[in-house]
């Protein structure tokens, strides 16, 4: 049994049969190459986003596009023989096929696009195999394909919109060479619907439609009308979005005999790049496998494209519909005629009460004829400045007294005697430079700050002691409470550790159970264990809670060694093990309380490091202990003391 197939899954090592003919070799029928229209890939019109999936837009008002595409396919048409031992390759009817597609397109009013595409066969070769029933002639090589004419109409959405819809179609004229498996020499057509869009950097297109063509019988396979589809999606890269990376898939299936012999499907991944400095030129390349076994589906297809396709700019807005885009329309909300003066371009002829040629809306002195000026506050005003302060009288709120500028027309040109930026009319201290205040009685007056902490005495709760600014009037200007224990740093004997009250000033604000020194976390009670064991008694929970809290409050302690020690009673080895176990138990207890295990290490020293005389019970009691020794510590940034108050800055001109 001999079959014709496209070995789209050649890497797996088998082919799908497309027709059967159990006749003898001598009776083989010569197949006419003109009966088989092999090419299934159809390039998109010039100017579209993808190689084979057309776009739903018309790209430009009166815009021409052109492209050349090199299209190579490997083994689009092969012959295999089915036997008892499986499939056997007879040969490739068409082993290699290459086209140069030349396409042009013309877009009108961003609404209709006309296109034409002509394929030139530059390579078509095979082995002319003969089956038991059919003989396939060798393709002739170079030639022509069928001329394709196309048209589409945009129904919804524009070039840059996220959703677009169009209707279109192709018609093929039978111009193809008769001996290269590139044409069935009949007119055929394909109407289709197109969907797509662009959302910032994401682009997509999809198409679906029937392909009406002449029925062709090759052995037992009938090829006729097809349903076609395609989908592509990609992203736009680089700052100007000139590089597109995408993947697309196209396919078709015969509507009368839908099976593997008449189904074509491919996937292509590729890129397109607008050439920097010449963005109207575009190059692109892509490749991908066939994913079906129908006649015409290659094992692999490769593409290279060069195109002339002008950049379609984003449509500029014209809110008032006067034909002048908002970017250059001096009156974008009101329709008006063009004008050589950019300040009047797109504006309606307006009133000019003083007849000085400057429209009232641009005239700073609309009731008094004046002269043009680039300064909006002087434009259209007469050149008269009685007080010589640089502000023309018509716009000077105090024309007889020299003053300063203001955005408030009622104060513009009025005086500021002390030069603090606050007009004399609002300044409670007009002869003395001060600062702005919401209180009219203090506005423009200087601020007093005895402790030089930058907080004025009238709002400083501690005017004689330098402090920090807070939102609480009771603490504003007072020294801070760094450890948050309720005692100000100047009254806290341990300002970096939370503590409790104590009548002794040297202990006030210090922790009751734990204190931190440069080299050790000192515990004021001993950790209690069960006799002869490493089990921590519950009575020590509060102590260990305090140690854990101190470690959290002192991140500068990078590594802490938990040391276990014993008295000299008992064997040395047993004491060393007991002290080590107890140190580990304390470490684990701290980890359970939220201390990072990486900050802790534990070690038992047994009886080797006594701190008291082991000859007395009191001494031995002191030697049975746990210590917390600082092994590694990082520098703590010092909080700078409040500096002197800055010199008051005059308020900005109103």
Alpha carbon 353 to chain centroid distance? 54
Cα-based distances in Å from 36 to 40, 147, 218:
11, 16, 8
Boundary of a domain, candidates 308, 334, 366: 308
> What are the residues facing 69 on neighbouring strands?
101, 305
My answer on whether 222 and 367 are in the same domain is no
Q: Residue 110: phi, psi to the nearest 5?
A: 50, 30
What pLDDT is stored for residue 648 in this prediction? 46
Residues for the chain: how many in total? 654
Whether residue 495 contacts residue 489, with contact meaning beta carbons closer than 8 Å, is answered with yes
Nearest to 604 by CA among 618, 630, 632, 625: 625
The residue segments making up the domain with residue 164 are 2-308
Tell me, yes or no, whether 281 lies in a domain.
Answer: yes
Q: How many helices (H) and strands (E) does the chain have?
A: 3, 23
My answer on whether 174 and 126 are in the same domain is yes
Nearest to 82 by CA among 30, 130, 20, 29: 20
My answer on whether 173 and 38 are in the same domain is yes
CA atoms within 13 A on the CB side of 25: 4
Tell me, yes or no, whether 523 lies in a domain.
Answer: yes
In this structure, the number of other CB atoms found within 10 A of the CB of residue 531 comes to 5
Cα-based distances in Å from 326 to 81, 342, 346, 376, 458:
71, 12, 9, 22, 54
> What are the residues facing 98 on neighbouring strands?
72, 123
Nearest to 36 by CA among 221, 247, 241: 221
What pLDDT is stored for residue 38 in this prediction? 77
* 555 torsion bin: left (phi>0), alpha (psi -120 to 50), beta (else): alpha
CA atoms within 13 A on the CB side of 398: 17
Rounded Cα distance, 120 and 148, in Å:
12
* CA angle at 549 for the pair 544 and 555, rounded to the nearest 5°: 125
My answer on whether 85 and 149 are in the same domain is yes
My answer on whether 350 and 252 are in the same domain is no
My answer on whether 303 and 340 are in the same domain is no
Boundary of a domain, candidates 248, 281, 308: 308
Boundary of a domain, candidates 274, 308, 342: 308
CA atoms within 13 A on the CB side of 342: 4
Tell me, yes or no, whether 207 lies in a domain.
Answer: yes
What pLDDT is stored for residue 84 in this prediction? 60
Rounded Cα distance, 43 and 68, in Å:
10
My answer on whether 250 and 348 are in the same domain is no
My answer on whether 241 and 350 are in the same domain is no
Q: What is the 3-state secondary structure (H, E, C) of 529-545?
A: ECCCCCCECHHHHHHHH
Q: Residue 448: phi, psi to the nearest 5?
A: -95, 140
Whether residue 591 contacts residue 605, with contact meaning beta carbons closer than 8 Å, is answered with no
Whether residue 99 contacts residue 145, with contact meaning beta carbons closer than 8 Å, is answered with yes
Whether residue 481 contacts residue 487, with contact meaning beta carbons closer than 8 Å, is answered with yes
Tell me, yes or no, whether 275 lies in a domain.
Answer: yes
My answer on whether 207 and 245 are in the same domain is yes
My answer on whether 353 and 220 are in the same domain is no
What CATH number is given to the structural domain containing 594? 3.30.1330.60
Is the pTM value of this prediction over 0.75?
no
My answer on whether 162 and 100 are in the same domain is yes
Instruction: Please state the domain count of the chain.
Output: 3
Cα dihedral 456, 458, 459, 463 sign = positive
Tell me, yes or no, whether 519 lies in a domain.
Answer: yes
Tell me, yes or no, whether 603 lies in a domain.
Answer: yes
My answer on whether 232 and 342 are in the same domain is no
Q: What is the mean pLDDT of each run of 10 residues along the chain (654 residues)?
A: 41 32 41 67 96 96 96 87 65 89 96 96 81 68 91 95 96 88 89 96 97 78 87 95 96 89 93 95 97 90 97 82 82 80 78 73 83 83 80 80 80 81 82 80 77 78 83 82 78 76 74 83 89 90 90 91 92 91 93 93 93 90 92 73 46 46
Whether residue 401 contacts residue 424, with contact meaning beta carbons closer than 8 Å, is answered with no
CA atoms within 13 A on the CB side of 232: 31
Tell me, yes or no, whether 438 lies in a domain.
Answer: no
Buried b (16+ CB within 10 A) or exposed e, 464-495: ebbbbeeeeeebbbbbbbbbebebbbeebebb
Tell me, yes or no, whether 415 lies in a domain.
Answer: no
Tokens of 252: 């078709």
Rounded Cα distance, 392 and 543, in Å:
79
């Amino acid at each position: 049994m001999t079959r014709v197939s496209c070995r789209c899954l050649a890497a797996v090592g088998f082919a799908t049969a497309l027709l059967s003919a159990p006749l003898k070799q001598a009776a083989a029928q010569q197949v006419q190459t003109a009966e088989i229209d092999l090419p299934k890939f159809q390039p998109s019109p010039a100017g579209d986003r993808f190689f084979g999936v057309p776009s739903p837009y018309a790209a430009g008002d009166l815009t021409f596009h052109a492209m050349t595409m090199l299209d190579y396919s490997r083994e689009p048409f092969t012959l295999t023989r089915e036997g008892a031992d499986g499939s056997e390759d007879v040969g490739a009817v068409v082993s290699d096929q290459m086209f140069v597609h030349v396409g042009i397109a013309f877009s009108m009013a961003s609404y209709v696009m006309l296109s034409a595409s002509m394929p030139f066969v530059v390579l078509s070769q095979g082995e002319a195999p003969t089956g038991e029933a059919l003989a396939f002639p060798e393709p002739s090589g170079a030639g022509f394909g069928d001329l394709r004419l196309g048209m589409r109409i945009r129904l919804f959405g524009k070039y840059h919109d996220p959703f677009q819809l169009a209707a279109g179609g192709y018609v093929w004229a039978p111009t193809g060479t008769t001996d290269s498996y590139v044409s069935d020499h009949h007119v055929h057509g394909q109407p289709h619907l197109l969907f797509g869009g662009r959302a910032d950097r994401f682009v997509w297109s999809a198409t679906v439609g029937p392909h009406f063509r002449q029925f062709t019988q090759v052995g037992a396979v009938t090829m006729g009308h097809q349903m076609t589809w395609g989908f592509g999606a990609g992203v736009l890269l680089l700052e100007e979005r000139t590089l597109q990376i995408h993947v697309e898939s196209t396919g078709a299936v015969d509507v009368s005999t839908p099976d593997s012999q008449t189904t074509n499907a491919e996937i292509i991944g590729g890129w397109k790049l607008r050439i920097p400095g010449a963005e109207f030129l575009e190059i692109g390349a892509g490749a991908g496998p066939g994913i079906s076994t129908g006649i015409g589906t290659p094992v692999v297809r490769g593409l290279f494209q060069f195109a002339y396709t002008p950049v379609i700019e984003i449509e500029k807005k014209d809110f008032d519909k006067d034909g002048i885009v908002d970017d250059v329309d001096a009156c974008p909300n009101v329709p008006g005629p063009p004008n050589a003066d950019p300040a009047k371009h797109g504006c309606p002829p307006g009133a000019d009460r003083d007849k000085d040629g400057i429209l009232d809306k641009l005239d700073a002195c609309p009731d008094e004829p004046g002269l043009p000026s680039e300064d909006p506050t002087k434009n259209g005003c007469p050149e008269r400045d009685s007080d010589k302060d640089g502000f023309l009288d018509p716009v000077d709120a105090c024309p007889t007294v020299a003053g300063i500028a203001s955005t408030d027309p009622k104060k513009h040109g009025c005086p500021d005697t002390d030069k603090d930026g606050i007009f004399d009319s609002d300044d409670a201290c007009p002869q003395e430079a001060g600062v702005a205040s919401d209180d009219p009685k203090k506005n423009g007056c200087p601020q007093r700050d005895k402790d030089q902490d930058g907080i004025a005495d009238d709002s400083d709760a501690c005017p004689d002691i330098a402090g920090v600014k807070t939102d609480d009037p009771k603490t504003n200007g007072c020294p801070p409470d760094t450890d948050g224990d309720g005692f100000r740093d100047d009254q806290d004997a341990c300002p970096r550790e939370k503590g409790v009250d104590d009548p002794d000033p040297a202990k006030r604000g210090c922790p009751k159970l734990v204190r931190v020194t440069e080299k050790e976390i000192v515990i004021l009670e001993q950790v209690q264990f069960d006799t002869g064991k490493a089990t921590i008694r519950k009575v020590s929970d509060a102590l260990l809670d305090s140690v854990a809290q101190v470690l959290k409050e002192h991140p500068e302690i990078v590594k802490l060694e938990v040391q276990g020690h014993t008295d000299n009673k008992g064997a040395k080895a047993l004491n060393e093990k007991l002290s080590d176990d107890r140190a580990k138990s304390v470490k684990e207890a701290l980890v359970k309380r939220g201390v990072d295990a990486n900050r802790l290490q534990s070690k038992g020293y047994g009886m080797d490091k006594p701190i008291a005389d082991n000859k007395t019970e009191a001494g031995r009691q002191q030697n049975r202990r746990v210590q917390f020794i600082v092994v590694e510590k990082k520098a703590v940034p010092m909080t700078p003391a409040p500096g002197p108050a800055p010199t008051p800055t005059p308020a900005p001109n109103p």
